[in-house]
Amino acid sequence: MHSLRLLFFRAQSFSPKKFHSSIKISYFSSKTNISSLAKLRKHTGLPLSSCREALNKNDDDFDKALEWIRKESIKKGWAKIGKYSNNTLTQGVLGLAATNSHAVIVEVNCETDFVARNPDFQILVEKAGECILKNFMVSIWILKNPFVNNSSYPCRAKWDMHTLSKLNLDNTHSLADMVALTLNKIGESIAINRAVGLSVGSNVAAESLAAYAHQSSSGLSSRKGRVDFGKYASIVRYQAMSGDLPENWKGKAALVGRQICQHIIGLNPLPGLLSSVPVGLSNEANLSTRPPDEDSHLLEQPFIFDESLTVREVATLNRMHLLDFVRWEVATDEIGSEGDERDEQVNTQASSSSNASGENFTTAIK
C-alpha cells in the first residue's frame, strides 16, 4: 500500500511541461531545403551542421552555399599553412599529363604515404597536372607564334613552387588556393613542389613524345581523369629519321618510346644523350676512348627489354632519333641537365608573353 502511494505521488509530481523544457531539440531551419542539405552533405562530406549553416547563409541556394564552403575552407587552410610550414614532406605523388605534343610531370608532396593515397590529395594532383599542362601548351603556342615572338622557342620548361602557386585554376582560384582547400580537408602539410614539361619542336610532323608513370606503391590509383599517378615518371622526346618510313611507324615508335621511358625509370641514366660510340662501330673498337661511366648514359645502356642491344641501337632499328628525356622520382632532386638554360628561357619568355597578351588561360575547379 505504501509503495502504491509513493508511485501515485511521483506520477502527480511529474510535469510534462517541465520535462520538455529541459531537453534541447534541434530543428531544421524553415529556410533549409532537406534535399539541398543532403546533396551538399554528399558533395562536400562536411557535417550536417556545416552544410545547414552554408545553406542558411545563402538563401538555400546550393551553388552559392558550395562556393561559400569552398571560400571558408580555403581561409581555414591558409590559416593552417603556417602551422605546418616546418613539417618535412618526404612522401607524395607524381602526376603525369600528356598529349602527343606536350607532356608535364608535377610533384605534389605530403608528410605520409597514407595521405598520398587519399582521394582528396589525388584530386589535387589531377587538377595540378591538368592546369600545368594547359598553361604549358598556351605558353609554347605564344612562344612559337610569329606574331608574338619571332625567335626560336625551347622544348623544355620547369616550374618551381613559387611559380606554380601563381597559376590559376579559374577566375577566382589559384593552385595555392587548391592546396589550402585540400590541406583543410586532410589536416597535413602538403605542397605542389615542382613541375617539368617537354614539347615537340618546330618540326611537329616528325616529332613526338612518349611518357610513362610507375606506381611502385600499393593503394595508389594509377590514373584520375587524364593524369597518370606514380612514384616515378619519365618523358622522352624523339623524331623520325630521314628517309622512307613504314606505314605503321608512328604506332610502333610510340610503343618503343614507352618502353624507353620504362627503361629510364628502371636504370636511371645520367641526364643528357651523350654518346661516345658512333653508330656502326663496335664497342671493342672504341674501348680506349670510352669514359668509365659510359654505361650510365642512356644511349649506351643495354636495353632493359633486350640486353643484346643498346638503347641507341634499338632507336636506330626503329628509325627513331632521341632528342631529350626527363626522369623524376618523388622527393628526389633531379641531377642537373643540359636543358637547364632552356628551362629558364621558357619560363621567362612564357611569363612575359602571357602578361603581354593580357589573357588568363585556366582550368576550372570541379
- Residue 247 C-alpha cell reads as 606505314
Hey, what's the torsion of the CAs at 301, 271, 353, 146, to 10 degrees? -40
Asked if 167 and 129 touch (Cβ cutoff 8 Å), the reply is: no
Asked if 101 and 200 touch (Cβ cutoff 8 Å), the reply is: yes
Instruction: Chunk the chain into consecutive blocks of 10 residues (it has 366) and report each block's average pLDDT, rounded to whole numbers.
Output: 50 49 44 69 69 76 74 59 64 93 95 90 94 90 55 75 87 83 84 93 82 80 85 95 86 96 95 59 44 76 95 95 95 58 40 36 28
What are the helix (H) ranges across 160-248?
161-165, 175-186
Cα–Cα distances in Å, from 195 out to 65, 188, 243, 269, 276? 34, 21, 36, 20, 31
Q: Residue 103: what pLDDT?
A: 96
CATH number of domain containing 176: 3.30.479.20
Report DSSP state, residue 162.
H
Q: Is residue 341 assigned to a domain?
A: no
Q: Is residue 3 assigned to a domain?
A: no
Edge-to-edge strand ranges of the sheet holding 232-240: 207-214, 232-240, 320-329
For residues 106 and 54, state if they share a domain.
Answer: no
For residues 197 and 251, state if they share a domain.
Answer: yes
The domain tally of the chain equals 2
Cα–Cα distances in Å, from 353 out to 17, 134, 146, 157? 74, 15, 12, 15
Q: Strands, DSSP E only, in the chain?
A: 91-98, 102-110, 156-160, 190-199, 207-214, 223-224, 227-230, 232-240, 302-303, 306-310, 320-329
User: CA-to-CA distance for 28 and 14, rounded, in angstroms?
Assistant: 29
Q: Residue 252: what pLDDT?
A: 94
Q: Could you tell me the pTM of the whole model?
A: 0.69
Q: Is residue 72 assigned to a domain?
A: yes
Asked if 342 and 350 touch (Cβ cutoff 8 Å), the reply is: no
Pick the closest to residue 69 from 90, 52, 85 (CA basis): 52
Q: Is residue 6 assigned to a domain?
A: no
Cα–Cα distances in Å, from 208 out to 15, 45, 201? 83, 42, 9
CATH number of domain containing 47: 1.10.8.10
Please give the full DSSP string across 311-356, using - where no structure is assigned.
HHHHHHHTTEEEEEEEEEETT-PPPP-TTHHHHHHHHHHHHHHHHH
For residues 43 and 140, state if they share a domain.
Answer: no
Asked if 171 and 178 touch (Cβ cutoff 8 Å), the reply is: no
- Give kind and range of the element (H or E) at residue 73: helix 62-84
For residues 76 and 155, state if they share a domain.
Answer: no
Asked if 93 and 127 touch (Cβ cutoff 8 Å), the reply is: no
Q: Is residue 285 assigned to a domain?
A: no
- Give kind and range of the element (H or E) at residue 123: helix 119-144
Q: Is residue 103 assigned to a domain?
A: yes
For residues 323 and 245, state if they share a domain.
Answer: yes
Asked if 257 and 208 touch (Cβ cutoff 8 Å), the reply is: yes
3-state secondary structure at position 269 = coil
Q: Residue 27: what pLDDT?
A: 44
Angle subtended by helix axes 119-144 and 340-357, to nearest 10: 80
User: CA-to-CA distance for 121 and 128, rounded, in angstroms?
Assistant: 11
Determine the structural domain holding residue 55 and report its residue range. Answer: 34-84
Q: Residue 153: what pLDDT?
A: 56
Q: Residue 8: what pLDDT?
A: 46
Q: Is residue 362 assigned to a domain?
A: no
Pick the closest to residue 230 from 244, 220, 239, 238 (CA basis): 220
User: CA-to-CA distance for 78 and 102, rounded, in angstroms?
Assistant: 32
